[in-house]
Amino acid sequence: MTGLHLSSLGLSHFRSHKSALLALDGRPVAIHGPNGAGKTNLIEAVSLFSPGRGLRRAAAQDMVRRPEALGWKVSGILQSQTRVHEVEIWAEDGGARQVKIDGKAAAQLALGRIARVLWLVPAMDRLWIESAEGRRRFLDRVAMSFIPSHAEAVLDFEKAMRERNRLLKDQVRDAHWYQALEAQMARSGAEIDAGRRAALVELHRAQAEAETAFPVAELELTVTDGEMPGSEADYGTALAESRLRDLMAGRTLVGPHRADLYGVYAAKGVSARDCSTGEQKALLVSLILANARALAKSLGAPPILLLDEVAAHLDADRRAALYDEICALGAQAWMTGTGPELFAELGARAQHVEVTDEAGLSRVAAL
């Protein structure tokens, strides 16, 4: 089968799972079980097939099953269009996460070239009302889904900015110490800004072209204290000119780290932050689906979707509409819920998995 999906997933000493192995096909995966059984741990393992720290943003040492294990491993067979890849991800005794693709050591960023994984988890429900950092991270993941190198640009920018901020805090005034760092920040910062704006164009287009039961979100990228400089050269100049002000503040005050994502519930003309909790959730679902549709159009296959406890926050009609859209898209969507009744509308269109907790040991069984 072509497309993008996991045909197998294996876990060893990962979180609450001592050992688990699932054989899969490209259909959605409906996972049910009681709270605390390990459902989210299962989809967190799938999130590691994309660059970054996974849906919980956890350190590698925090993923190991305690107390008996010193390390953990996640493995899978990834169907990526017409190619099949064997992927292994693991960490040993508090060490950093390691990756092998088809038996060869690889950087985490290489996962972005063979897989696209999007997720929506309960921690994101407050996206519109909490700090701008979460919204930037959300938009960067959207951008990374279209442009895998976006992740590298973000890492390069953050590293250079940390070093520049250290100079600022130490009140270093010699321009020579800043020039190389600011050149790196200008390159990666301009790339980040361009990637974010390109991602917004894709989301807007995907929302405009679709018939969906979920509300359209109008999105705008804003920047604190003015505008993001329009080019690498302009941003380099802005950093140099802002150096005195930054010295007084002890940190960098211009750049993509000052951006924010502003959303509006289009049909009502209401800011996303002022919408009800249910409306905010519906907007997020809409954006995840739009992201998936845009990727399916540009890549020829939809991404893998991870939707943690999403069914519990939707009424029956919206839930059925979500399942219909996922199936029409052809995505392998991993969805969790406390009971099988939450996935009744899916029927045989999905593969069903039960996770139970017996004496502190998570057990995974395909139904």
Contacts of residue 130, defined as CB under 8 A and 6 or more positions apart, other chains included, come to none
Of 107, 125, 309, 282, which Cα lies nearest the Cα of 212?
A: 282
Average pLDDT over residues 61-90: 92
pLDDT at 363: 83
Query: Mean pLDDT score of the chain, rounded to an integer?
Result: 93
Model confidence pLDDT, tens digit, residues 186-215: 999 999 999 999 999 999 999 999 889 999
Entry pTM: 0.93
Band (pLDDT 50/70/90 cuts) for residue 311 is confident
Q: Is the pLDDT of residue 168 over 80?
A: yes
Q: Is the pLDDT of residue 1 over 50?
A: no
Contacts of residue 308, defined as CB under 8 A and 6 or more positions apart, other chains included, come to 39, 40, 43, 55, 119, 120, 121, 122, 335, 336
pLDDT at 2: 63
Indicate the Cα dihedral angle 41, 43, 44, 46, nearest 10°: 130
Separation of first and last alpha carbons in the chain: 22
Band (pLDDT 50/70/90 cuts) for residue 54 is very high
Give every strand in the sheet of 351-358, ordered side by side.
117-120, 304-307, 333-337, 29-32, 351-358, 361-366
Band (pLDDT 50/70/90 cuts) for residue 67 is confident
Indicate the Cα dihedral angle 337, 38, 282, 339, nearest 10°: 10
